Amino acid sequence: MKSKPPETNRYSLYVLITVFFFWGFVAASNTVLIPFFKDNFDLLQWQSQLVDLAFYAAYFLGSLAYFLVSTRVGDPLNRLGYKKGLVLGFLISGCGAALFYPAASMGSFGLLLLALSVIGLGFTLQQIVANPYMVAIGDPATGAHRINMAQGVNSLGTMTGPLLISWALFGQVQGETARELTVVQIPYLILAGCLVLFAILLGRSHLPAITSPEKMKHDLGALRFPQLVLGMVAIFVYVGVEVSIQSNLPALMADPAMLGLDHTQTVHYISLYWGSLMIGRWTGSIGVFQVTRTIKKLLWIVVPLVAFAVILGVNQIKGSPMQDLLGYLPFIFICILGFFMGKDQPARTLLLFSLLGMIMMLAGIFLDGQLAVFAFVSGGLFCSIMWPCIFALSIAGLGKYTNQGSSLLVMMILGGALIPPLQGYVADLTGIHMSYWIPVLCFGFLAFYAWRVKAVLEAQGIRYDTMDQEHIEPV
């Protein structure tokens, strides 16, 4: 008699989904801090991008440290337990958020960057825990459904984070704008309180105690697979371009040839960028549900439009000029066309979306005004599905080295730390508009990767025509 699969622990599911929301909320809010710190510390554009370097480098360093410890003394979380690992991660991030208070009082840019790094280190530990925890709290066969649901909530956090942080920093009465550095103290002290409070609630919750019996291999056999080596570079470039496009958007929109807006007036465009990632991720997750081909095609049209309506609704509630965003609709239909042409095949979808991203960056470079801004913002649409595509293609055929390969891919989030300052440096030399040649080159490499990895996998006789939805974006 066939045994009944375990029922999902719904309480645990809702708790873990909240974890995913925090990641998106804080990471996207960094976009608001970049121009704010630039004004207060009189920074060059590349120096302002150190905000991203401090935050995303912590993911690399944290993952690398965890990997090295695991290969020498065994998996630390297997001893500590997943639940305690989550609690510790939130406490670390809470300490980082609290560090904003003395850093702002001292007027220290370096200390503020350190605070962001500490937040990132806490998030690194949470991410190592949360994805396998999501699978373990119910039937493993439906683990992908739970993770994709959490990913959608993560994207909701990335969309609302910039709006709420911007309101907290600049939302004064009579339309006045607060620019003193100390205005970051209360919002981030509140964030610290929320993180610590959530850690306490996690500690007192009834999340199941889970450990993993698997042991990481002591050698680096995964690096013998060319698809993984290519994939590591692709993840580096993908995370870098996703972060860099939006990190430089406030400076771009301040250009009189574009919109000529102060950075305090651009938050709804930043929200639209992160919302574009949500549009693509919601649409990309349709494949995990057992529906007919006809229903799936219908959902490929309906879900993006519903997600866009959510973006407009959130901006309307916040009081942003919603009418500024209505002209973005044609770009969403281009994304929908990309899903139809991609046919749920990771290599094909990645190639199409990389080429579309490159075309949109070129359009933005050679145009100006709101149309150019929309072209750059649409980079979020075409980045949205890249993590699962690259991840699935990179670990295909790795066998016993799959877990090791996964950890190496996660380390390549380092791209989000290095590529934004590179674009900022180019902006200082050539102007912010021309700096978007960096995203053009990034999308070009990702298109090359999609073409090349297909040939590599075919040479090994490995199937690559199905999306592995269990491996999703950690940011």
Q: Each residue of 319-340: pLDDT tens digit?
A: 777 778 888 999 999 999 998 9
Burial of 23 (0-12, 13-18, 19+ CB in 10 A): buried
SS3 label, residue 166? helix
Q: Domain range for residue 275?
A: 10-459
Cβ–Cβ < 8 Å for 51, 37? yes
CATH code at 237?
1.20.1250.20
pLDDT for position 74: 64
Is residue 274 helix, strand or coil?
helix
Overall average pLDDT of the 251-259 stretch: 82
- C-beta separation of 44 from 429 below 8 A: no
Q: In whole angstroms, what separates CA 344 from the centre of its chain?
A: 21
pTM over 0.95: no
Residue 402 within any structural domain of the chain: yes
Residue 469 falls within a domain, yes or no? no
Give dist(CA 332, CA 201) in Å, integer: 39
Whole-angstrom CA distances from 436 to 115, 118, 277, 372, 406 are 29, 30, 19, 11, 30
From CA 222, how far away is CA 229, in angstroms rounded? 9
Q: Is residue 125 part of a domain?
A: yes
Tell me if 151 sits within 8 A of 472, measured CB to CB: yes
Q: Which of 79-83, 106-110, 180-184, 216-220 has the lowest mean pLDDT?
A: 216-220
Least confident of 161-165, 185-189, 360-364: 161-165
Confidence (pLDDT) at 135: 58
Q: Which of 2-16, 256-270, 384-398, 400-414 has the lowest mean pLDDT?
A: 2-16
471 inside domain = no
Tell whether 241 is covered by a domain: yes
Confidence of residue 4 (pLDDT cuts 50, 70, 90): very low
28 found inside a domain: yes
Q: What is the distance between the alpha carbons of residues 438 and 445, in angstroms, rounded to a whole number?
A: 11
- pLDDT tens-digit map of 384-419: 888 878 877 887 777 766 666 777 787 888 888 889
Q: For 172-225, what is each residue's pLDDT tens digit?
A: 423 344 568 888 888 889 889 988 998 888 888 777 666 555 555 555 667 788
- pLDDT for 160 equals 73
The answer to the question of residue 369 being in a domain is: yes
Is residue 188 situated within a structural domain? yes
Look up tokens 């791209």; give the residue.
Answer: 415
CA–CA dist 92, 82 (Å, integer):
15
- Number of domains the chain contains: 1
Q: What does the pLDDT look like over 115-159, one tens digit per residue?
A: 999 999 998 888 777 766 665 666 554 554 466 567 667 777 777
